[in-house]
């Protein structure tokens, strides 16, 4: 039995879009149990409030990017980043 590849039937452009959105989703984390995030660094070096303010700016950029990538042909409506963008 052959297992399905992660990006099977995706074009190179679709794979790139998925990786970018996944990365944006990860950097919106204020903290992560297994990896240090740059927003954690901001919170540690400045304040949690500043980290949250920077996160809001990132969310604006991420929303614009998501809206550009999400099309009828490449539906990303179920992506977990939406949960963070809609907060």
Q: Where are the domains of the chain?
A: 47-87
For residue 45, give Cα distances in angstroms to 13, 38, 52, 56: 37, 10, 13, 18
Rounded Cα–Cα distance for residues 38 and 43 (Å) = 9
**pTM confidence score:** 0.78
* SS3 call for 24: helix
Q: pLDDT digits over 20-70, tens only?
A: 999 999 888 888 777 678 899 999 999 999 999 999 999 999 999 999 999
């Amino acid at each position: 039995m052959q297992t399905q590849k992660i990006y099977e039937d995706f074009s190179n452009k679709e794979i790139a879009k998925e990786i970018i959105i996944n990365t944006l989703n990860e950097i919106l984390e204020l903290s992560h149990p297994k990896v240090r995030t740059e927003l954690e660094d901001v919170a540690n070096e400045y304040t949690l409030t500043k980290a949250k303010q920077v996160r809001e700016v990132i969310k604006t950029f991420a929303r614009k990017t998501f809206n550009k990538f999400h099309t009828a042909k490449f539906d990303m409506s179920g992506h977990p980043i939406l949960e963070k963008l809609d907060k």
